[in-house]
Structure 1
């Protein structure tokens, strides 16, 4: 079970890793938001980056937001609002900051679909802020491409760990003396993400901690379980892939979220709607 890192421990680990720095576009956006910039100013700022502008328009025109076709960036910014804009800017800059090895070519596509499902579940059942659920799903496993970029041989470790999800972190630690949860935690912390999200990244394989508020903050537990449920719905219910670990953690996850197994069909329908 990973423990929260002290500043000294984090500094020591960072000596052996090269983490993507906080992108300038994200830093500028956060400064503008903190300074109380209005949506028109935010629109001008986003318009300087074509990839950001395209992402904002795409999200604003998605079924979750659009009541009409939006072709103007300012209209899209108005529809989304500041918190959803923060989600879009952070997610786009994260994806751009971490190049993927060819073997991980589907990594961001899968993470984005899981994020879409989690945010829809969060909104439908008022579980947590949807934008927080979305961002957590993107950051949750971001340590994997970082480790792959730094240590190409990590791909073999990853393959072994994926075959034995209950021992995923132990396999990583035995091979590399660190793990994707630690690296993801360090990256999120260096990007000044919320503390509950950082804790959730560090502990998102620790399902035995669920339900113990002294070991895991309730908000972190909610993020962890919501993302794992979204992952199960995507891969097992929609893609029909096997998830041998799910039977061992299903009860704890559903209990944490206040769900009953009888809801599974409705949860699957929400997941399907999220990907339209």
Structure 2
């Protein structure tokens, strides 16, 4: 657990192109969201290795919104062996202190609010992100023996991976219309984003992840979640594979085509110990678990 990373420090880890883009966005008024007070207090306790469950639960309970969302997240089937949870202390004991902290980080990011004129787009964005995050948790739970990625790690990566889109939406008045984000099933295409705005939501998301002190391999996965081939045999590559498969299952559940899947599946499936023959059965298992959970909610 490291101390906070400044935006400037995070920029130093980018290449010249990425750093230049972030600098222009910052100069143009884009705002990297600060961490909520509850998260800062938790981080200080984690850095000092103060893992007293009663103290940690008191801090989390200071923010009823975060506490309520935490209860909602841990109803995911990935934590079925620990359910039901009756208190934040129960969650900390069963899920683990560091794992719970990861979940709180992800939940905190969803507090980013948007302009009222794009309220529906923001609502759709978070619905999409949270659904992909649920799928990512379930994939990690099913493949943990192969991938060594845990549900809380997959959840936080999925919540953060497209957060750069929100910040671009705040920065560019025409971003929503140009990227056609209000259209069902439509999502940002990197080449189009680069051409029209000379911007990259993956780089912006990476800066947010570093500034919020996410683990380096998760930050790298956010940076390259549309470019798995850039990553070597590393946990960040495995995380990107989970994110890409989670997105594919999201599209399947929505019954809309995923324009990216055919381009990445040859890299994604072997990384998760799967192949095209095994994918239909695996996808059915994950989607069924997700739908059963949604029906029970």
TM-score tier after normalising by the smaller chain length: 0.7 to 0.9
Residues 187, 5 of structure 1: CA spacing in aligned structure 2 closer, same or farther, 3 A cutoff? farther
2:213 aligned with 1:192, yes or no? yes
Which structure exhibits the higher relative contact order, with contacts defined as CA atoms closer than 8 Å and separated by 6 or more residues? 2
Shift of 1:4: 2.7
Other structure's SS at 1:193 match: coil
| Aligned-partner Cα distance in 2 for 1:150–1:51 | 27
Q: TM-score, normalised by structure 1?
A: 0.85
Shift of 1:168: 2.1
Residues 68, 170 of structure 1: CA spacing in aligned structure 2 closer, same or farther, 3 A cutoff? closer
Residues 121, 48 of structure 1: CA spacing in aligned structure 2 closer, same or farther, 3 A cutoff? same
Ranges in structure 1 where 5+ consecutive residues have no aligned partner:
none
Residues 189, 68 of structure 1: CA spacing in aligned structure 2 closer, same or farther, 3 A cutoff? closer
Q: Work out whether residues 70 and 76 of structure 1, in 8 Å CA contact, stay in contact via their aligned partners in 2.
A: yes
How many residue pairs match? The answer is: 266
Q: CA RMSD in A?
A: 2.6
| Structure 2 equivalent of residue 33 of structure 1 | 46
Shift of 1:11: 4.7
| Aligned-partner Cα distance in 2 for 1:49–1:19 | 21
Q: TM-score, normalised by structure 2?
A: 0.80
Q: 2:61 aligns with which of 27, 47, 54?
A: 47
Residues 206, 73 of structure 1: CA spacing in aligned structure 2 closer, same or farther, 3 A cutoff? closer
| Structure 2 equivalent of residue 250 of structure 1 | 265
Shift of 1:245: 3.0
| Aligned-partner Cα distance in 1 for 2:31–2:101 | 25
Residues 233, 32 of structure 1: CA spacing in aligned structure 2 closer, same or farther, 3 A cutoff? same
Shift of 1:129: 2.3
Q: 1:14 aligns with which of 26, 40, 58?
A: 26
Q: Work out whether residues 143 and 272 of structure 2, in 8 Å CA contact, stay in contact via their aligned partners in 1.
A: no
Question: Which has the larger displacement, 71-80 or 87-96?
Answer: 71-80
| Aligned-partner Cα distance in 1 for 2:155–2:75 | 17
Shift of 1:117: 1.3
Listed as ranges, the matches of 1:1-276 within 5 Å are: 4-5=14-15, 9=20, 10-11=22-23, 13-16=25-28, 17-37=30-50, 38-65=52-79, 67-99=82-114, 101-104=118-121, 105-126=123-144, 127=147, 128-159=149-180, 168-209=189-230, 213=232, 218-236=234-252, 238-264=253-279, 265-275=281-291, 276=293
Ranges in structure 2 where 5+ consecutive residues have no aligned partner:
1-12
Residues 87-123 of structure 1 deviation map (CA, whole Å, 9 limit, x = unaligned): 2211121000243622422211221111111122112
Other structure's SS at 2:96 match: helix
